Amino acid sequence: MSTISELELEVSAARRKLNELEHLLHEKRRLHDSAAGGEAGLSGRRTCDGSSEDSSGKTNESFESASNSLTKEAIERFSRQIVLEDIGAAGMERIRRGRVLLVGAGGLGSTIALYLAAAGVGNLRIVDFDTVERSNLHRQIIHTDVRVGMKKAESAAESCLAINPQINVSTVTAPFAPSNAEELVRDCDIVVDGSDNVATRYLISDAAARYRRPLVSGSALKWEGQLSVYCVGQDGPCYRCLFPVPPPAGAVGSCDDSGVLGTVPGCIGCLQATEVLKLLVGAGEVLDRRLLIFDALSMQLRVVKLRGRQRNCAACGDAAAGTANRTLLELTADRPEYVMRSCTLNNGQCSSALPPDARVTPAVFFDKLRALETAGRKSSMVVVDVRPKGQYDMAHLPCSSSLPLRQLEMWKQNGTLKAMWKEFTKEAIGSGEGCVDVYIICRRGIASVRATEILRTLEEPVGTTGSSGTKTYFRFINVDGGLTRYHHEADAAFPLY
């Protein structure tokens, strides 16, 4: 019987074959329609009055259109939006000629890209350096399971072209950075922010403000989403006008850490795509100087007014004139917010604050776990998981006990740390004496460092009698890199999320 891995490979191969057959079928249908149109004179060159010419130069009068780009296929594809009074043939032509830069092909970018492609936006450039992960798929619907490991920008382009092969989709698999931001923004008509971090948000806005490109910006976290349009016309505020000072590191949550309901970025992404189309055709009122707030739990939409462009804004106000001759790359030293800084990028630096005897690698920890399983739960070793309870309930090491960092910090703050720790460890330690090694673990080895620092204040010298009346003392040890590194270096069977 085939193993699970062999079956997974067979399924992946079958899916790839199915995709190839679907592309082949579409191409044959397209060629068939083109041939039929050529015979009828419908696929020929358009004349200035809207009639069509076949290859012999003879005019075909089967239909005329106010837009030279409206072929038979285009009308059949886009008729439902062309018949809208605010779009029409002229609006469809503006959509077809539109140049849209989308930064981010994740939860927001998925629906943005799909709907812009389906609507016929003629030139779409997608920027994303990341690769598709299985944890993306519940919300990033532009990607598929067989594309795990593929560049997100390339995966998104494939999906867009599968919906509408008549558009131009280009990809940039490098990060959106000060070195390329100006060139990318300068070459588009509208910028769409589908990113998920503060650094990119400020950089996109500053580039859009410099070249006065409308910026459709959205965000989604947990059950909530927000949307606004910046840099509209000459008086529209930029993101920095409203938030001149970036928030402190760690103050802004992410989908990775805080979670997100998959439909929320989908809803916000659809609304972002709507604002892009309105800007292209010049229809209605966009969210200029307004912020839309969506709460999925209460199912409420609110729109609040925002202040206008600020004269003292460093990106688009009077102060910007002094930096106009410097590139954004040259301004990086003055604007450190352009650079993403996260302890998750190198959690070894986080644990380096601890002494060597208070740290352990995942591989060594794994060996200790095997020994613990043999000895039983009550032993001279305790594993404490300091992640939030929800994450612990989702998946945890069988031998571990849950003690969220927030609870530890509360105990320390109210002065009950020693008493509560004694109560917490009573079951795990039992009546044993001597040294008890307490291994502290979290998701990425960041919260565990803080927890280890707090608990190390409880360590007692060897040979002293603790408050329990037994000769027991604790040695607190941080597991470097947390469960993420543990998955990669010790036990791949533990879920990676």
How much is the CA Rg of the chain, to the nearest whole Å? 29
End-to-end CA distance of the chain: 30
CB-count exposure of residue 342 (10 Å: 0-12, 13-18, 19+): middle
Reply yes or no on whether 350 is catalytic: no
Beta bridge partners of 190: 100
Binding residues for Zn(2+): 238, 241, 313, 316
**What stretch of H or E contains 417?**
helix 417-429
What string of DSSP letters covers 277-335? HHHHHT-S---BTEEEEEETTTTEEEEEE-----TT-TTTSGGGGGGTTS-TTTTTTT-
Q: What are phi and psi of 287, to 5 degrees?
A: -80, 50
Instruction: Quickly list H helices, 102-151.
Output: 107-119
State both tokens at 86: 């605010």
- For residue 384, which phi and psi values (nearest 5 degrees)? -115, 125
- Residue 69 host element (H or E): none
Q: What is the DSSP letter of 225?
A: E
Nearest to 43 by CA among 54, 32, 58: 54
Q: Which amino acid is at 303?
A: V
Task: Enumerate the known binding-site residues for ATP.
Answer: 107, 128, 135-139, 152, 196-197
Annotated active-site residue 231? The verdict is no
Q: Catalytic one among 160, 267, 399, 442? A: 442
Calculate the alpha carbon distances from 126 to 174, 261, 358 in Å. 11, 24, 45
Which of the following is catalytic: 231, 255, 267, 350? 255
Q: How many CA atoms lie within 13 A of 445 on its CB side?
A: 29
In single-letter form, the type of residue at position 267 comes to C
Query: Over the range 300-312, which residues count as b (16 or more CB within 10 Å of their CB) and which as e?
Result: eeeeeebeebbee
* Residues 252 and 92: beta-carbon distance below 8 Å: no
Using CA atoms, how far apart are residues 415 and 347, in angstroms rounded to an integer?
A: 29
CA angle, residues 440, 446, 450, in degrees to nearest 5: 65
User: Could you list the active site residues?
Assistant: 255, 442
